[in-house]
Structure 1
């Protein structure tokens, strides 16, 4: 080993000094006696429950309080709770009958009654300090099963549990990138959503291990009710320990040089950047081929981690198909957020796929400022547009995205996130030993949890095939196990206001509307206007309005579910009728979706290609091609796609689906535009030449209408993107000249106005003005920094809003809302002085196209560009006397606006 340099020696000395900790002196006999006496005097220590368990106890406590309030004379609930015993077992029977007949949230399943009675036992222990007698608990369950269930018709059997198998996951992953019409705030949100689903599928974890899943109203329930009520545990603060006043801080065993601030912070008990290890492996196949990327993620905050933590590392490897490769997507995310701490590797993807390392593996480090920061974070609005914050993504946001994806993909039933976990455990159960399955599920060894709760309803095996010598694999099982066995992308996703008005409100909405009208009349009589109510009346009005709105939303969701089920039933009946009549129509191909963002269209063409027949040397090109449009999509705001106008071939996974998608009726189009895949407005060729629309792999080539132009001629996937040649059917004139140019109807598009901050495009200028004003109101200082990349790189900051708007108009040609000051003439205001007659200064803002010289000769225009260069002309003219100088701002619209 060579000699160390002074800087390295100083760094090692600093690390050794940080690792040193003063040793505490041993406890004396007097101190030990103190702890002995102190432990005998105080009450039991409160058990260490999770937030969900605490919220469940609070909900059970609320049910018991409501039950006690319904009893005669409304006895106190705490003393009555302590009287639960075998001699007073009828009290629990009365509580069980109350649960199934209470006005709101009536129980419909036997398992719910049993769970509520278990919660009652836990509440009894919380306030009495002792366990409820075992025969009393058994009596609870006997009453629920033998008496209550048959009398009230409670459901006994569990609901059907869907399982997402690999073919279903491939279908949803392909749909999310290629056919999904729903939008996210920015493209990075879609990348996060896809990564979360990949991690759920290939690790089998629960969603709260990746995103923040707080219980509903957990802060109010936990702080005010769980800890606020006096119970059998320690309620008083014992004060500081007089012998151990400064506890030793816990160290993060993952980072090794930082304190542990994640264990007791619920928002950081999710996947953070230090939990992900990205590696470059040297020729793992051992055949002299290329290096591969591999990834490991650590999940340690699983269910039950408060009692026993079982940290588990899950491996990930490269995939040939980019749509199924979480490593390529994670690398695109890391590059887009600037997380990689290695010069030369932090901005481009090419170095990762062109390595020939000489050691077995190379570790890719992350920047330290991203340690202890969630991988999946929320997107918030800022002055410069949507951007990622430090707050973790919540489970509610992910569930909403799952619901939208399930509806957009045409799934008949709801799409919960738990289907990923069941699918992963079934894969492990079929291909690995039970110990590996239990390790991934974090079940105890030799437990029966999987057989009892995961594998109890549907058997994914055919004894008929095995017994008749056809083996264990059956294509029938693949079809029947597919989550989208009857999917239809044209199924209704919502209910219009016209349908809701035709159906009318239900009894609950009518009752709440009547109560709302009565309350409005009462407040109007008291305050003159109901919106001026204060104090308790204002709170009562807001609460009643929230109840009415929630009831309307619930009814709308119920109607939407009924209409969606009716759609699938009607479609199934029509297909049976057609077959009975002998009508055997060919299976119709899927309707291609044309996205508004050019980068999104390129991503759809790359990720939509499911051809695995690639040469070994061509595989590294896929992540490289994926990187450029992924980075651009991650930065930009997504917009709803235009209606589909062309037909695409049916993908391979559609063979698992029995019912094809019926495309909507095609829009009337001219014959010469029938085979042209032109981008929707406002993406004209001039708009596509924006600097952000860079070419793939660094080439100076703009995104055009034909996705095949982005792929080199020698690439193996070139044949999949070749456009069909025009035929006599598509071109009746027989001439091929008009087949390559859009029609005149496609060229005449509406003018779109782009917000200078977030790049959203609007049809109305006033809407664009409103968007820009919202961005300006979010700033914290009077100064405004120009968000245009050219000015932002130069650090241009304007003093106030007016100067910024002038800068946007003069430099960038962005006409923002003018600031209008209204002056009123009062008696105290002296009259304005009349200006003398003379030459008046006139300011005119024009573009280079309309500039004329003072003598009348035309000024030579610069070469045509995407946007005309504005110029300022100052002239003098003789005018009649006016109250004040006249300043006129006229902006001529350039071709690029």
Structure 2
């Protein structure tokens, strides 16, 4: 090793200083006596409860308080809680009946009452430091099971849990990129969603290990939980004042442990290791990428931690390759700490290592940042904040994905975990067993889950029967309900009752204030609360109607198919129209990822993967426009029948490539992906900016149909022309926002969008968001000059700034004494930001 310079020496010294921790001085005799006496006087230490446990206890305490408030005489809740015993078992039985008949009770299963019993037992233990009497607990359960369950028709058996096997998982990954019309804020949000689902399928993660699962009103309930005195509250709260607290080091990266809050105890960049391995297959081929992901917080963020490493390898199909997504995400966010490797994907696939492996290092500022973060708005456009994605956001995306993909049931996260267990030696979950944890901690995992899941070990097409959610999928299923349909159905009893209460309240407030919207104080709060209740009730009814129509659609479709089979009508599966997106980068990704041919030379596989990563990087920070439905009227109704009259192309047309190489049969796990139908070519104005790369296989993509709904030509065969139009409607003029690039039909709406961005400048300088001006560092001094710049340079006319000024010349013409009798001067309007050329 060469001689160190002064900078290197200073850096080493600084690192050594950070590693130093002060040693605690030895205990003196006075300190020993102090801690001895203090330990004898202290109360028992409270249990180490997670935040979710505190929230559950706070909810249980609230239920008991509400129960005591309903009792005659309104007794104090704490003394009454301590009287729970076998001699006073009627109180426990009364509480069980109260839970079933209280206002807005949503108990539908026996297990819910038993959960409430466990929470009441925990609250009792918290304030008495004693356990419930076993006889009392059994009596409570017996009353709930023998008397309450048959009386209210509670469900006893567990719900049926659906499974997402590799075929369904592959279809959803394919659908997310090739056919999904759901809009994300930016492309990087879609990459995050796809990567999270790949992690869920190949590892069986729990949800809170990747995204932040924050209960509702968590801070308020935790403060309520900690602020109430209980059996563990100690009068002497002084700590060990003789020793200063030591900073905790992170054992993964060696830095100061900053991940103490639950919001940061999710998957962070320090938990992902990306490697380049030399000749990983041992056949003299190219170097391969491999990845390890560390999961630490299996039992919630402040409970038992079981660190587990999960390996990942490259896949030939980019749509299923986790390394493709993580590398694209790292390049888009600028996470890689190596010049030459931080912009493009080509260097990672052109190596010929002379050592066994190399490690790709992340930038230090990203080590303790969550991998899946929320997108925030800034003056320069969308950016990634340090706040992790919440479970509500992920569940919302899951439900939208399942609805758009045409799954008949509601999409849930546990489908991934159960599908992952079915991959691993066909394991099945049994209650009160350790089969989940043993597989979860890699104790019985002898091979990669990807090998088992993608059929490299065993290929059994009949296992598609396990894919309960994917057997009946249909993209044409209704996704919502029209207002006209809801008006025809009419409100239910709950909505009618709230509407009567709302009308009475409006009349009362109008008589009191003259106008109900002018109400203040408690009246305003009452009005807002009643308005929210009515809105929620209407939304609930609409969701119920949508679910009914969706079930009806699948039932009718199933019956129609059975009738066709009885009549001897055997039709092949109907092809789907190809979806073409407005964003060119999204179209490029769809063209690359829709190619599922694995029978390719190694150089073409690498080229396809490199193109996919580069396309994902260029797409990551693009703001996604709203995709218009091709048949929006049918997507919102619940009475659509399956498509008919579509001419189908024979698969023999794709039997062989232009070079004569036959196409290998598709693997079994892509059996749910259907071919697309012939449709008009892409218009020239929609195919600019980027063109897709040449096809990697001879499976030529069918001519696309625009999402915006361009009508097909009358002379083209194989078109599904249900509603022919007599004439071509003129194209609508779209006004594009200079900041977010969103397109609007009305210019005034575009102006409003621009003004919202200009407000964030607070009257200061305004940088131009266009790439050319940003590269030149152009910044306008104020809002007016920025609008002039947008008009002159970019040809975008923004809202002029109107200033009303009074003509002061005539007012001062007659002198100060006579100015009071002169008529008021006429104002004049000045446009200060209009550009005249």
- Pairwise CA distance, 1:330: 0.9
CA distance in 2, matches of 1:888, 1:95: 70
Describe the shift of the 1:299–1:606 C-alpha distance in structure 2 as closer, same or farther (beyond 3 A): same
Pairing 1:441–2:451 present = no
Residue 352 (structure 2) aligned to one of 353, 356, 372: 356
Contact 1:594-1:642 at 8 Å conserved across structures: no
1:600 aligned residue (578, 586, 589):
586
1:755, 1:768 within 8 Å by CA — same for their partners in 2? yes
Residue 116 of structure 1 pairs with residue 116 of structure 2:
yes
Q: 382, 389, 408: which one pairs with 1:386? A: 382
Tell whether the 8 Å contact from 2:291 to 2:323 is kept in structure 1 after alignment.
Answer: yes
Once residues 411 and 74 of structure 2 are traced to their aligned partners in structure 1, the CA distance between those partners, rounded to angstroms, is: 44
What corresponds to 1:233 in structure 2? 232
CA contact (8 A) 2:277 2:357 kept: yes
Instruction: Note if 1:487 corresponds to 2:473.
Output: yes
What does residue 56 of structure 1 align with? 56
How far residue 8 of structure 1 moved from its aligned partner, in angstroms, is 3.2
Q: Distance in 2 between matches of 1:342 and 1:521?
A: 69
C-alpha distance in 2 between matches for 1:161 and 1:368: 42
Secondary structure of 1:821's aligned partner: strand
* Residue of structure 2 in register with 1:818 after alignment: 800
Partner of 1:591: 577
1:280 equivalent in structure 2? 276
Q: 2:697 aligns with which of 708, 711, 717?
A: 717
- For 1:285-324, what aligned pairs fall within 5 Å after superposition? 285-304=281-300, 306-324=302-320
Is 1:792 aligned to 2:774, yes or no?
Answer: yes
The CA distance in 2 between the partners of 1:888 and 1:42, in whole Å, is 73
Q: Aligned to 1:677, which of 669, 678, 681? A: 681
The gaps in structure 1 that reach 5 residues or longer are 447-459, 461-470, 664-673, 694-701, 735-743, 834-882, 893-897
Match of 1:521 among 486, 507, 517: 507
How far does residue 722 in structure 1 lie from its aligned partner after superposition?
8.0
Higher relative contact order (CA 8 A, sep 6+): 2
Determine if contact 2:297/2:304 at 8 Å carries over to the other structure: no
- Relative to structure 1, the CA distance from residue 659 to residue 281 in structure 2 (aligned partners, 3 Å threshold; closer, same or farther) is closer
Question: Contact between 2:278 and 2:286, CA under 8 Å: does it hold in 1?
Answer: yes
CA distance in 2, matches of 1:436, 1:353: 39
Counterpart position of 2:448: none
Q: CA deviation at 1:784?
A: 0.8
| Closer/same/farther in 2, CA of residues 150 and 38 from structure 1, 3 Å limit | same
In structure 1, the partner of 2:258 is: 261
**1:376-775 → structure 2 map (5 Å cutoff):** 376-430=372-426, 438-441=437-440, 475-642=461-628, 676-679=680-683, 683-684=685-686, 688=688, 693=689, 702-703=690-691, 707=692, 710-711=693-694, 716-721=696-701, 749-775=731-757
Q: Which residue of 1 aligns with 2:325?
A: 329
3-state SS in 1 of match to 2:85:
coil
1:345 pairs with one of 322, 341, 349: 341
Deviation at residue 216 of structure 1 after TM alignment: 1.1
CA contact 1:198–1:326 (8 Å) conserved in 2: yes
| 1:571, distance to aligned residue in structure 2 (A) | 1.2
Q: Is the 8 Å Cα contact of residues 484 and 657 (structure 1) preserved in structure 2?
A: no
Q: Tell me, yes or no, if the aligned pair for 2:167 and 2:669 is still in contact at 8 Å.
A: no
Query: Deviations along 1:20-41, whole A, 9 cap, x unmatched?
Result: 2222211112212211221222
Which segment drifts farther, 28-37 or 177-186?
28-37
Structure 1 residue 721 displacement after superposition: 4.2
1:693-722 deviation line (CA, Å, top 9, x unaligned): 4xxxxxxxx42xxx4xx22xxx64255448
* 1:546 to 1:432, Cα distance in 2 relative to 1, 3 A: closer
Instruction: State the match for 1:807 in structure 2.
Output: 789
Measure how far apart 1:512 and its partner are: 1.3
8 Å Cα contact 1:191/1:634 also seen in 2 = yes
Cα deviation, residue 418, structure 1: 1.4
Output one character per residue of 1:551-603: Cα deviation in whole Å (capped at 9) or x when no partner. Answer: 11111111111111111111112222222333333321122111111111111
Call closer, same or farther: CA 1:831–1:369 in 2, change over 3 Å. Answer: farther
Map Cα deviations across residues 773-826 of structure 1 (whole Å, 9 max, x no partner): 111122345211111111112222111111110111111111111111234679
Equivalent in the alignment of 1:873: none
Shift of 1:154: 1.4
Equivalence for 1:34: 34
Shift of the 654–101 alpha-carbon distance from structure 1 to 2, 3 Å rule, reads farther
Question: In the alignment, is the contact (CA less than 8 A) between 2:788 and 2:834 conserved in 1?
Answer: no
Aligned to 2:249: 251
Query: Conserved in 2, the CA contact under 8 Å of 1:187 and 1:634?
Result: yes
How far apart, in 2, do the equivalents of 1:163 and 1:830 lie?
85
Q: TM-score, normalising length from structure 1?
A: 0.80
CA contact (8 A) 1:486 1:658 kept: no
Tell me, what secondary structure is at the counterpart of 1:233? coil
How far apart are residue 103 of structure 1 and its match? 2.5
Aligned CA distance change for structure 1 residues 827 and 90 (closer, same or farther; 3 Å): farther
Identify if the C-alpha distance between structure 1 residues 594 and 123 changes in structure 2 by more than 3 Å, giving closer, same or farther.
same
Alignment of 1:98-137 (within 5 A): 98-137=98-137
Aligned residue pairs total 769
2:205 is aligned to: 205
How much has 1:632 moved relative to structure 2? 2.3
1:593, 1:641 within 8 Å by CA — same for their partners in 2?
A: no
Q: What is the rounded CA distance, in whole Å, between the counterparts of 2:648 and 2:790 in structure 1? A: 43
User: Residue 723 of structure 2 aligns with which residue?
Assistant: none
- Contact kept, 8 Å, 2:578 with 2:676, in 1: the verdict is no
Ranges in structure 2 where 5+ consecutive residues have no aligned partner: 445-452, 632-645, 652-664, 705-711, 718-725, 816-827
Aligned to 1:678, what secondary structure does the other structure show? coil
Structure 2 CA distance for aligned equivalents of residues 16 and 355 of structure 1 = 35
- Say if 1:832 and 1:354 are closer, same or farther in 2 by CA, change over 3 A: farther
CA–CA distance in 1 between the matches of 2:729 and 2:541? 44
Distance 1:761 1:832, change over 3 A: farther
| Alpha-carbon shift at residue 105 of structure 1 (Å) | 2.0
Q: 1:110-138 CA distances to partner (integer Å, 9 max, x unpaired)? A: 11111111111001011112112222222
Deviation for aligned residue 1:653: 7.8
Output the CA distance in 1 between the equivalents of 2:252 and 2:736. 46
More displaced 10-residue stretch of structure 1: 499-508 or 304-313 = 304-313
- 2: distance between equivalents of 1:614 and 1:156? 54
Given the alignment, which residue of 357, 368, 373 partners 2:369?
373
Shift of 1:479: 3.1
Contact 2:737 2:753 in 1 (8 A): yes
Q: In structure 1, how many angstroms separate the alpha carbons of the residues matched to 2:795 and 2:494?
A: 55
Distance 1:826 1:144, change over 3 A: farther
Q: 1:368 to 1:780 in 2, by over 3 A?
A: farther
What is the CA distance between 1:435 and its match in structure 2?
8.9
Q: Could you list the per-position Cα deviations for residues 461-517 of structure 1 after superposition, in whole angstroms to 9, with x for gaps in the alignment? A: xxxxxxxxxx99754432353421111101111111111111111111111111122
User: What pairs with 1:823-842 in structure 2 (closer than 5 Å)?
Assistant: 823=805, 829-830=811-812
Closer/same/farther in 2, CA of residues 890 and 13 from structure 1, 3 Å limit: closer
1:95-174 aligned within 5 A = 95-174=95-174
- Tell me, in whole angstroms, the C-alpha distance in 2 between the residues paired with 1:440 and 1:7: 49
Structure 2 distance, partners of 1:435, 1:168, is 27
Distance in 2 (CA, whole Å) between partners of 1:285 and 1:432 is: 33
